[in-house]
Amino acid sequence: MTYIPKPELKHPRLPTNDQGYTRRDYEGTVSTLCAGCGHDSISAAIVQACFELSLPPYRIAKLSGIGCSSKTPTYFLAAAHGFNSVHGRMPSVATGANLANRDLIYLGVSGDGDSASIGLGQFSHAVRRGVDMLYMVENNGVYGLTKGQFSATSDRGSVSKKGIENHDEPIDLAALALQLGATFVARSFSGDKAQLVPLIKAAINHRGAAVIDCISPCIAFNNHEGSTKSFDYIRAHNEAVNALDVFPERTTIGADYRPGEAVDITQHDGSVLRLRKLADDYDPHDRIAAIRYLAEQKAKGEIVTGLLFVDADADDLHAALGTVKTPLNQLSDPELCPGSEALHRLNASLR
């Protein structure tokens, strides 16, 4: 596999965050994706978000499937834990890792083929179970790595680079995540860093399944006229419902807005999301209204972006299962294997 490390050289006066890390400490190797690929912009946004949140890189676990999108974890967070799984299987690996060790921050990176085509079942179950993770779909409406076949998110009527029209109904992963009970759902665009970075920060701070469906144009196979995932099409049809600022716990937050203009949402970790309304009639606390709004705007050809839904009090899969708080690799032998008496008691309790 191609592997180009970045030079170690660092400017001595690079700004550092609360942990003493520079932005460079959150980067990975040099990207081998096509120059201009939307996925590289998402990697840069992830680096920026983790730097601004002052996360220790070794506390992050990045997981992916197969695809150009799934290659990207190599290009950020070199010091994090990493697992590149099989095509469409990232969610079950992330579920297992998360259940074994809830102390890490889970970052799942996937593509539209990886999540909506081969991995649709995996995506659905991780989301409906509330696995505590940021689930990032780098959605270009095409199988980029295998040279441009339509994926399950390609719009009906969208035309491939070879001039073939797609006749199948697309899967809207944000709408599906809402239906499946995701407690944080957002859509963004790789070309809008100002929107994407705060969404990533908020999703990382969220407890439960946080899905970001990020439109990420493939310049090699899906950036032409007739494509509904091209840079030009998205810029012309992007309808942002809100703008987001994220304040960490302990920050003094001034109220520099008029009543009705913005709303503050406190997440379980104490961080505050300040949502400034851009669409008057949009309420990110109303799941059913969000589903309806997405469908109405889609019928008009608009792509709704922003924080679509959040339940800041949500619980995750660990709460539902009542699992032990200590990571399994830190439990002692007697805790892991409490003996036959304990086994008899457990069996009796299930009879």
Ligand X SMILES: Cc1ncc(C[n+]2csc(CCOP(=O)(O)OP(=O)(O)O)c2C)c(N)n1
111 binds Mg ion (CB under 5 A): yes
Q: In angstroms, how far is CA 124 from the centroid of its own chain?
A: 14
**Residue type (1 letter), 5:** P
Q: How far is the CB of 269 from ligand X (least distance, A)?
A: 31
Residue 149 CB, shortest distance to ligand X, in Å, is 7
Binding mask 64-93 for ligand X (x = CB under 6 A): --xxxx-----------------x------
Q: Please tell me the distance from the alpha carbon of residue 163 to that of residue 148, in angstroms, as a whole number.
A: 12
By the rule CB under 6 A, 212 interacts with ligand X: no
Q: What is the spatial distance between Cα 341 and Cα 219, in angstroms, rounded to a whole number?
A: 62
Q: Which does 37 bind (CB under 5 to 8 A by kind): Mg ion, ligand X, ligand SF4, none?
A: ligand SF4
Residue 291 contacts which entry, ligand SF4, ligand X, Mg ion, none (Cβ below 5-8 A, type-dependent)? none
Judge contact between 120 and 171, C-beta under 8 A: yes
> Quick one: which segment of 108-116, 178-186, 239-247, 277-285 binds ligand X (CB under 6 A)?
108-116
3-state secondary structure of 74: helix
Nearer to ligand SF4, 219 or 263 (CB): 219
Say how far apart CA 195 and CA 17 lie, in whole Å: 21
**Using CB under 6 A, which of 38, 111, 208, 217 touches ligand X?**
111
Closest CA to 238 of 309, 174, 302: 302
Amino acid at 191: G
Q: How far is the CB of 17 from ligand SF4 (least distance, A)?
A: 29
Q: Which of 57, 113, 130, 217 forms a contact with ligand X (CB under 6 A)?
A: 113
CB of 238 vs ligand SF4, minimal distance in Å: 20
User: What span, in angstroms and rounded, lies between the C-alpha atoms of 11 and 21?
Assistant: 13
